Amino acid sequence: MSYKWKLAQYLEVRWWKNYQKKLGKEYLGNKKDYWQKILAAADISAPVNKDVLDVGCGPSGIYTVMDGNRVQAVDPLLDQYESAIDFFTQNNYPEVHFFAQPFEDFDVVQTYDHVYCLNAINHFRDIEVSVQKLYACLRPGGTLLVGIDGHRHGFLKKIFQTIHMDLLHPVQMSLADYEALFSKRGFTTQKTVQYTTGNIFNYYLLKLTKE
């Protein structure tokens, strides 16, 4: 998995560099509106004065709409985003504590009321370790919101897993695979939302809790 992950991370920076060329000044505002829609779809009121963790946060993650909370955000590409992505600088978010490292290497020294892992888990190096760590991060009674692409067809999933044709995403799973993995690690599913429909993948929000 490691060579796949390294290649995916190399391509991820390139993807954001190309993507930003197409963006106008309204991009960050639009992305913040998108995050509010995601929270509403998952029935999560915007947290206030809570401990919040954004895992695989990227350069415009949900941490951008978490003012008034104690926010931490983890992503191995933060230093590269800082130098290559015009709309991202950590200085714009003085209240967010950023960790430039893979989540698999993140030291869990506290728990959080809200953990977000959006559009990210299928990029990770070791999904088993990461799901265990997400569980360790969550305070009992807290909420984990995961946003994922789930394969719609078993035969296409098998092809994608075997031929490794979706280079940006080392992890290729269906909604049922994700649900089984989170359940195996102790999470309870509170809500599943099919947010968009695609030909190969649907996009789902999984709202998970720890009893």
Ligand X SMILES: C[S@@+](CC[C@H](N)C(=O)[O-])C[C@H]1O[C@@H](n2cnc3c(N)ncnc32)[C@H](O)[C@@H]1O
Sole binder of ligand X in the list 39, 57, 71, 171 (CB under 6 A) = 57
* Site for ligand X contains 76 (CB under 6 A): yes
Give the sheet arrangement for strand 112-118, strand by strand: 96-99, 70-74, 51-55, 112-118, 138-151, 201-209, 188-196
* Site for ligand X contains 74 (CB under 6 A): yes
Instruction: Tell the smallest beta-carbon distance from residue 49 to ligand X (Å).
Output: 23
* Site for ligand X contains 169 (CB under 6 A): no
Residue with Cβ nearer ligand X (44 or 155): 44
Instruction: Output the furthest CA–CA distance in the chain (Å, rounded).
Output: 46
* Site for ligand X contains 144 (CB under 6 A): no
* Site for ligand X contains 61 (CB under 6 A): yes
Tokens for 61?
């993650």
Beta bridge partners of residue 204, listed in sequence order: 148, 194
* Site for ligand X contains 127 (CB under 6 A): no
CA-to-CA distance for 175 and 193, rounded, in angstroms? 11
Map residues 95-124 to x or -, x wherever contact with ligand X holds by CB under 6 A: -------xxx-------------xxx--xx
Q: Which long-range contacts (CB under 8 A, 24 or more apart) does 4-8 make?
A: 4/164, 4/170, 5/123, 5/124, 5/125, 5/170, 7/167, 8/123, 8/167, 8/168, 8/169, 8/170
Sole binder of ligand X in the list 51, 52, 53, 58 (CB under 6 A) = 58
* Site for ligand X contains 179 (CB under 6 A): no
* Site for ligand X contains 142 (CB under 6 A): no
Supply the DSSP string of 108-169, one letter for each residue.
--S-EEEEEEES-GGG-S-HHHHHHHHHHHEEEEEEEEEEEEEES-HHHHHHHHHH---TT-
* Site for ligand X contains 60 (CB under 6 A): yes
Instruction: Tell the smallest beta-carbon distance from residue 155 to ligand X (Å).
Output: 25
Residue with Cβ nearer ligand X (14 or 158): 14
* Site for ligand X contains 75 (CB under 6 A): yes
**Binding residues vs ligand X (CB under 6 A):** 9, 12, 55-58, 60-61, 74-77, 102-104, 118-120, 123-125
